[in-house]
Amino acid sequence: MITTKQQAVNLSESLQKIQDKIYKNKRVTALFESELDEDSYNFFKEINNIKNIEDLTKKDITQAIQKTLEQIKNTPVITLEVSFEPSVEFTNVLFEKIKVDYKINHFLDFIVNKDEFSGAKIEYKGKIFEDQLVKF
């Protein structure tokens, strides 16, 4: 599952690499498998509703890459400033909650500030919401 801004940035960079190599490489599946991790690959297929990448032409794949890059670019980022290192489990729970319960398409971006905060500061589309600030 792609949940964070950093994962989305990594995916964008990998897709750019694939796009540069796609006309030189014959086995498209191998190229995707070598460049993307399982979550990123599934995300790419899900966004473009692809079942088998081998069925697509190179032009189709290029279009799918462009669509994915565009989608990543246009997906808003919810930045959370927290005082702890968020675990993968917590990130997934929070991501699913905002996506499923609030129906908001987004990526999470965590800023860890152990010295200053105990609680959270949320930034979304330039506005900030903060609460429960506890200073040690």
The residue among 112, 101, 102, 134 whose CA lies nearest residue 4 is 112
Q: Does 122 bind other proteins (CB under 8 A)?
A: yes
Of the residues 10, 76, 96, 116, which one makes contact with other proteins according to CB under 8 A? 76
47-9-61 Cα angle (round to 5): 40
Q: How many CB atoms lie within 10 A of CB 14?
A: 19
CB of 121 to other proteins, least distance (A): 9
8 binds other proteins (CB under 8 A): no
Contact partners, residue 45, CB within 8 Å, separation at least 6: 51, 53
Is residue 79 involved in binding other proteins (CB under 8 A)?
no
**Interaction of residue 100 with other proteins, rule CB under 8 A:** no
Q: How far apart are CA 100 and CA 136, in angstroms?
A: 34
| Contact positions vs other proteins (CB under 8 A) | 76, 78, 80, 82-84, 86, 90, 93-94, 97-98, 101-102, 104, 118-120, 122, 124-125, 127, 129-132, 134, 136
